[in-house]
Amino acid sequence: MTKFIFVTGGVSSSLGKGLTASSLGRLLKCRGLRLTMCKLDPYINVDPGTLNPFEHGEVFVTDDGGETDLDLGHYERFIDESLNRSSNATTGSIYSAVISKERRGDYLGRTVQVIPHVTDEIKERVYRLASDEIDVVITEVGGTVGDIEIVPFLEAIRQFRRDVGRENVCYVHLTLVPYLAPSGEQKTKPTQHSVTELRSRGIQPDVIVCRSDQAISQALKRKISLLCDVPPEAVVSAVDARSIYQIPLVLHDEGLDEHICRLLQFDLAKYPADLASWTELLRRVEATEEEGAPRVRIGIIGKYVNLPDAYLSVVEALRHAGFYHGASVEIVWVQAEEVLAMLASNSVHALHDLDGIVIPGGFGERGVEGKIAAARYARESGLPCLGLCLGLHVMVIDFARHVAGMDGAHSTEFDPATPYPVIDLMDDQVDVVNKGGTMRLGAYPAQLSPGSRVAKAYGQETISERHRHRYEVQPRFHNKLSEAGLVWSGMSPDGRLVEMLELGSHPFWVGTQAHPELKSRPDSPHPLFKELLAAALARAEGRAPRILDPRELE
Report how far residue 210's alpha carbon sits from residue 307's, in angstroms, rounded to the nearest whole number: 27
Residue of 389, 393, 472, 499 marked active site: 389
Residue of 349, 517, 526, 531 marked active site: 517
Report how far residue 161's alpha carbon sits from residue 363's, in angstroms, rounded to the nearest whole number: 44
Strand partners, 333: 300
| Contact predicate 120/97, CB 8 Å | no
Instruction: Give the containing element (helix H, strand E) for 391.
Output: helix 390-402
Cα R_g (the chain), whole angstroms: 25
Query: Which residues, 6 or more positions from 223, have their beta carbon under 8 angstroms from its beta carbon?
Result: 188
Q: What is the per-residue burial (b if ≥16 Cβ within 10 Å, else e) of 160-196?
A: bbeebeeebbbbbbbbbbbeeeeeeebebebbeebbe
Alpha helix segments (H runs only) across 406-526: 430-434, 453-458, 478-483
DSSP of 448-469: EPTT-HHHHHHTSSEEEEEEEE
Report how far residue 308's alpha carbon sits from residue 331's, in angstroms, rounded to the nearest whole number: 10
Question: What phi and psi, each to the nearest 5 degrees, are found at residue 500?
Answer: -145, 150
Q: Which of 47, 60, 41, 111 is nearest to 309 (CA)?
A: 60
Residue 515 annotated in active site? yes
| CB neighbourhood size of 523 (10 A) | 15
Report how far residue 78's alpha carbon sits from residue 277's, in angstroms, rounded to the nearest whole number: 12
| Contact predicate 43/92, CB 8 Å | yes
| Contact predicate 38/89, CB 8 Å | yes
| Contact predicate 349/342, CB 8 Å | yes
Report how far residue 422's alpha carbon sits from residue 415's, in angstroms, rounded to the nearest whole number: 11
Residue 389 annotated in active site? yes
CB-count burial class (<10 Å; 0-12, 13-18, 19+) for 102: middle
First to last CA, the chain: 73
Residue of 170, 515, 526, 531 marked active site: 515
Task: Please list the active-site residues.
Answer: 389, 515, 517
